[in-house]
Protein backbone atom coordinates (compact mmCIF):
# COMPACT_ATOMS: atom_id res chain seq x y z
CA UNK A 1 0.00 0.00 0.00
CA UNK A 2 1.42 3.36 -1.04
CA UNK A 3 0.79 6.53 0.91
CA UNK A 4 1.01 9.88 -0.87
CA UNK A 5 3.52 12.28 0.72
CA UNK A 6 2.18 15.26 2.60
CA UNK A 7 2.27 18.21 0.20
CA UNK A 8 1.75 21.70 1.63
CA UNK A 9 0.83 23.30 -1.67
CA UNK A 10 -2.40 21.28 -1.51
CA UNK A 11 -3.26 22.61 1.93
CA UNK A 12 -5.89 25.34 2.05
CA UNK A 13 -4.47 28.72 2.94
CA UNK A 14 -7.21 29.20 5.54
CA UNK A 15 -4.88 27.39 7.93
CA UNK A 16 -2.93 30.61 8.27
CA UNK A 17 -5.82 33.02 8.68
CA UNK A 18 -5.76 35.16 11.80
CA UNK A 19 -7.51 33.37 14.61
CA UNK A 20 -7.34 29.92 13.00
CA UNK A 21 -6.76 27.20 15.57
CA UNK A 22 -5.78 24.37 13.21
CA UNK A 23 -2.55 25.80 11.77
CA UNK A 24 0.82 24.11 11.43
CA UNK A 25 3.43 25.67 13.75
CA UNK A 26 6.17 25.92 11.13
CA UNK A 27 3.81 27.66 8.69
CA UNK A 28 2.61 29.98 11.45
CA UNK A 29 6.24 30.93 12.19
CA UNK A 30 6.78 31.84 8.54
CA UNK A 31 3.43 33.65 8.33
CA UNK A 32 4.15 35.70 11.45
CA UNK A 33 7.59 36.73 10.20
CA UNK A 34 6.69 37.47 6.58
CA UNK A 35 4.29 40.37 7.18
CA UNK A 36 1.44 37.86 7.63
CA UNK A 37 1.45 37.05 3.93
CA UNK A 38 -0.16 33.64 3.41
CA UNK A 39 1.02 33.46 -0.20
CA UNK A 40 4.63 34.21 0.69
CA UNK A 41 4.67 31.82 3.67
CA UNK A 42 3.37 28.97 1.51
CA UNK A 43 5.76 29.85 -1.33
CA UNK A 44 8.73 29.79 1.08
CA UNK A 45 7.53 26.54 2.67
CA UNK A 46 7.17 24.89 -0.74
CA UNK A 47 10.61 26.09 -1.84
CA UNK A 48 12.21 24.77 1.36
CA UNK A 49 10.50 21.39 1.11
CA UNK A 50 11.66 21.00 -2.49
CA UNK A 51 15.35 21.13 -1.47
CA UNK A 52 15.68 19.91 2.12
CA UNK A 53 17.59 16.70 2.55
CA UNK A 54 18.07 14.53 5.58
CA UNK A 55 20.67 15.96 7.93
CA UNK A 56 20.71 19.40 6.34
CA UNK A 57 21.27 21.25 9.61
CA UNK A 58 24.98 21.66 10.26
CA UNK A 59 25.93 20.70 6.70
CA UNK A 60 27.26 23.83 5.02
CA UNK A 61 26.31 22.76 1.49
CA UNK A 62 22.81 21.54 2.35
CA UNK A 63 22.18 24.68 4.43
CA UNK A 64 23.24 26.77 1.45
CA UNK A 65 20.64 24.99 -0.71
CA UNK A 66 17.93 25.79 1.85
CA UNK A 67 19.05 29.42 2.10
CA UNK A 68 19.05 29.74 -1.69
CA UNK A 69 15.54 28.26 -1.82
CA UNK A 70 14.37 30.86 0.69
CA UNK A 71 16.08 33.59 -1.32
CA UNK A 72 14.39 32.42 -4.53
CA UNK A 73 10.99 32.66 -2.83
CA UNK A 74 11.57 35.97 -1.02
CA UNK A 75 13.95 37.90 -3.24
CA UNK A 76 17.28 39.60 -2.62
CA UNK A 77 16.57 40.98 0.87
CA UNK A 78 19.53 39.32 2.62
CA UNK A 79 18.48 40.47 6.10
CA UNK A 80 15.03 38.89 5.69
CA UNK A 81 16.49 35.76 4.08
CA UNK A 82 18.89 35.30 7.01
CA UNK A 83 16.09 35.86 9.54
CA UNK A 84 13.81 33.35 7.82
CA UNK A 85 16.67 30.86 7.51
CA UNK A 86 17.25 31.00 11.27
CA UNK A 87 13.53 30.50 11.88
CA UNK A 88 13.50 27.51 9.55
CA UNK A 89 16.55 26.00 11.26
CA UNK A 90 14.74 26.12 14.58
CA UNK A 91 11.58 24.40 13.25
CA UNK A 92 11.65 20.63 13.66
CA UNK A 93 9.18 20.12 10.77
CA UNK A 94 11.86 20.86 8.18
Q: pLDDT tens digit string along 46-57? A: 999 999 999 999
Across the chain, mean pLDDT equals: 83
Instruction: Quickly count: other Cβ atoms within 10 Å of residue 45's Cβ.
Output: 25
> Does pLDDT of 81 surpass 60?
yes
This prediction has a pTM of 0.76
Domain ranges (residues) in the chain: 24-90
Spatial distance between the Cα atoms of 59 and 15, rounded to a whole number of angstroms: 32
Least reliable range by pLDDT among 14-18, 21-25, 53-57, 78-82: 14-18
Per-residue pLDDT, averaged over 28-35, amounts to 92
Q: Which residues contact 43 (CB under 8 A, 6 or more apart)?
A: 73
Amino acid sequence: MSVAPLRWENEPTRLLCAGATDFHPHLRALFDNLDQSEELAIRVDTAIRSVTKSGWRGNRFKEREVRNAIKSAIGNDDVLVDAVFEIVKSQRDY
